[in-house]
Amino acid sequence: MSDPHLVARAEFGEAPRNGEMLRRDRALRPPASTPTRRQVLSALMLVPVALTGACSLPTSSSRAGLDPLIALADRARADAALAAAAVAADPDLAEQVKPLRAARAEHAVALDAEVARLDPGAVARTRPPVAADADDPPPRATLTRLREAVLASGRAAADVAVGLPADRVGLVASVTACCAAYGALLI
């Protein structure tokens, strides 16, 4: 498949591209008076869909000073380990569970990197030196349990995401969406 970002391009020479149209709008129409918080609420609450579940406002940084992404990275590792345990318990699951395991491992790497970007020593300080991949698999490592775990991880990421600064929210939003999608699609 080729570059997946080529769609929004006008075919007709006359029509402005989206960007141009936006710029023209800006020139013609300076921002209207600032809408109130209530207006935003009334307008946006109409937008449907809530697969990630109800999330209260950020409880991030709950423990003082601890980067909330550390807990999300730990969850990612735990989900990857649980996926491995589920396959160990039932090898027939290997094909189905492999992408989830790989995704959660990638999430852990990316979240660790983001934690380290802000505080290079944080991960070493807060994580026990024992490897996260436990030697003995947790009991009942079933597909159902894996699904519950990844859904819970998605909710945890969603709770954190909404309160994060702009340069971190995208990563955690992607982790949220990926986990929630696995929860929705993993039978």
Partner 1 sequence: MRDLSSTPAIDKVAIDALQDVLSAEHAALWCYSLAVAFLSSARAEQARSDTEAHRELRSKVAQTLTEFGQRPVSAQPAYATPQPVEDGLSAAVLVVVAETDAMAAWRSVLERSTLPELRQVALDTLTATTVRCARWRAVVGLTPEIPVFPGRPDPPR
List residues binding partner 1 (CB under 8 A).
Answer: 1-12, 15, 17-18, 21-22, 25, 29, 31-37, 39-52, 55, 57-58, 99, 102-103, 106-107, 110, 154, 158, 161-163, 166-167, 169-171, 173-178, 180-182, 184-185
d(CA 108, CA 112): 6
Q: Nearer Cβ to partner 1, position 134 or 184?
A: 184
Q: Nearest approach, Cβ of 27 to partner 1 (angstroms)?
A: 12
Give the SS3 label for residue 137.
Answer: coil
CB 55, CB 159: distance < 8 Å? yes
**How many other C-beta atoms lie within 10 A of the C-beta of residue 118?**
12
Smaller CB distance to partner 1: residue 9 or 125?
9
Instruction: Write the Ramachandran bin of 56: left for phi over 0, alpha for psi from -120 to 50, otherwise beta.
Output: beta
Question: Least Å distance between CB 115 and partner 1?
Answer: 16
**What amino acid is encoded at 91 in this protein?**
P
- Nearer Cβ to partner 1 (46/130): 46
Residue 89 or 177: the one with the smaller Cβ distance to partner 1 is: 177
- Minimum distance, C-beta of residue 132 to partner 1, in the bound complex (Å): 19
Q: How far apart are the first and last CA of the chain?
A: 28
